[in-house]
Copies of this chain bind each other. A is one copy, B any other.
Amino acid sequence: MSLYTIAQASEEVDLTPYTLRYYEKEGLLPNVTKDSGGRRKYHDDDLQRIGFIKCLKGTGMSLKQIKEYGDLYEQGKAKFKERNAMLEEHREKILQEIKTQKKYLKMVEAKIEMKI
Contacts and interface: CB of A to CB of B under 8 A. Distances in A.
Interface of A: 52, 55-56, 58-59, 77, 80, 84, 87-88, 90-91, 94-95, 97-98, 100-102, 104-105, 107-109, 111-112, 115-116
Given A59-B101, A101-B59, A104-B59, A112 B87 contact: yes
A23 to B, nearest CB: 18
7 contacts: A55-B107, A55-B108, A58-B104, A80-B115, A87-B108, A88-B112, A94-B108
B91 A109 contact: yes
A77 B59 CA distance: 37
A29 to B, nearest CB: 17
A80 B111 contact: no
B105 A91 contact: yes
Number of identical monomers bound together in the oligomeric complex: 2
Nearest to A95: B105
A52 B88 contact: no
B100 A58 contact: yes
Given A58-B100, A101-B98, A108 B80 contact: no
Contacts of A80: 115-116
